Amino acid sequence: MDVILSAVVLLFFTFIFIFINKCRRSWISSSSPVRSMLLGTMGWPFIGETLDFISCGYTDHPQSFMDKRRLLYGKVFKSHLFGSPTIVSTDAEVSRFVLQSDANSFVPSYPKSLTELMGESSILRINGNLHRRIHGLIGAFFKSPYLKAQVTSDMRKLLLQSMATWKEDRPIYIQDETKHIAFQVLAKTLIGLDPGEEMEYLRIQFQKFVAGLMSLPLKLPGTQLHRSLQAKKKMGKLVYKIIRDKRMNVSPDSRDVADVLLNDKSEKLTDELISDNMIDLMIPGEDSVPLLITLAIKYLSDCPKALHQLKEENLELKMRKEDLGEQLCWDDYLSMPFTQSVITETLRMGNIIMGVIRKAMKDVEVKGYLIPKGWCVLTHFRSVHLDENYHESPHQFNPWRWQERDMSSGSSSCFTPFGGGLRLCPGLDLARLEASIFLHHFVTKFRWVAEEDTIINFPTVRMKKKMPIWVKRDVHQ
């Protein structure tokens, strides 16, 4: 019933989306050059293949939509998804080319509801020099030893506070626990906000805000999009006040992302633009770390051998630091090779970001394929990550596969969990760090039994039951 209801809602969304855009991209003529070069089907008029794509996402085999068409048409094929004629790439080289291209060739494309909520000045939408400026400033700060040390301290403090409240006679919901912790770390990193009433207010409004990211693009009172826009206004007032206070007492030492942007000398970054982007930057950051940790716990629970080796590695480091009378610092957490292999394998299998959509700004030819101007390209990360040509036994959780491979947290053609090119996620190192900190303290302090739970893959990746586990404190630690 849930699948049918979701399909009906998204069918309605598709019609609305198309008519709002005056159906200007709803179909193409049979004389288009792409028809003679790319195989595939456009599906039903207006609807395209959207319903097939969505319905597969709600099943136990979310990859079936892609697998079926790859067998019929090859790794790059045409379709019609979410109101737009679309080239779907499950080919690592083609996807990499699209991700590496600049705004002269491809620009980001999002569902109508998401663009309404983000606004015109969002870093997730802007292109050119302004995007490069903001992305570069944030990326450099995220790589700084200062921020990594701050995140380590904040994450450890919040995590240990949370773990101290865990009871052995009731389940712990890992997905909820990690969301609560990660949001506080994120808010501190972006705007310097400490836990308290303002933090809780921001968290509540943010949950209302993100509820509309994949909603019908109707802004009428009573609709989800309208409620989300109202929540963003409330968040905006608080964040803008924080930005204005920072402007009045600007410090040359950047303690958070807002400070970094306020200290920019280009004078192009207004307080309004900075404030709006602090909220928009919470969108990719709010889910990625909690889901990375939650999925790692899920996979480790199902693989005792990997859990044993991970625990041994972390216990060894813990005892070594205790003998020296030292606390672990950020580079200690990132120094454990098998822990990083577990995180990498979790990213490969979990596919927290299924893929990204880009819109062609001109006719583009890549690897013999023509992508017409105005068409969208879905670079489907999951297909590459689960392709047996790139990863042996791809559906098996096997962190040892990364022991002899490049462990860089950046992207390669067959491993792109954080995207790539100019829009490579600047928080990738911090995501690894936070996951490493959680796993270290979790496996060295607790034993646990996980309840049965399943992964839902649409519209976002999440655990159906929020990953309930029963914990026992390890009395020997």
What HEC string does 235-300 produce? Answer: HHHHHHHHHHHHHHCCCCCCCCHHHHHHCCCCCCCCHHHHHHHHHHCHHHHHHHHHHHHHHHHHHH
Instruction: Tell which residue, 328, 359, 340, 300, has the closest CA to residue 104.
Output: 359
Cα–Cα dist 231/458, whole Å: 24
**Domains, in order of start, for the chain:** 2-123+353-385 (3.30.43.20), 128-350+405-458 (1.10.630.10)
Cα–Cα dist 230/132, whole Å: 30
Neighbours of 400 (CB within 10 A): 13
* Tens digits of pLDDT across the chain (477 residues): 443 334 434 444 444 444 444 444 444 433 344 444 689 999 888 889 988 998 888 888 889 999 999 999 999 999 999 888 999 999 999 999 999 999 999 999 987 878 888 877 888 888 888 889 999 999 999 999 999 999 999 999 999 999 999 999 999 999 999 999 999 999 999 999 999 999 999 999 999 998 888 777 788 898 988 999 999 999 999 999 999 999 988 778 889 999 999 999 887 889 999 998 998 888 877 789 999 999 999 999 999 999 999 999 999 999 999 999 999 999 999 999 999 999 999 999 999 999 999 999 999 999 989 999 999 999 999 999 999 999 999 999 999 999 877 544 445 789 999 888 888 888 999 999 999 999 999 999 999 999 999 999 887 899 999 999 999 998 665
3-state class (DSSP) for residue 56: helix
Judge contact between 199 and 187, C-beta under 8 A. Answer: yes
Give the burial class of 66: count Cβ atoms within 10 A of its Cβ; 0-12 exposed, 13-18 middle, 19 or more buried.
buried
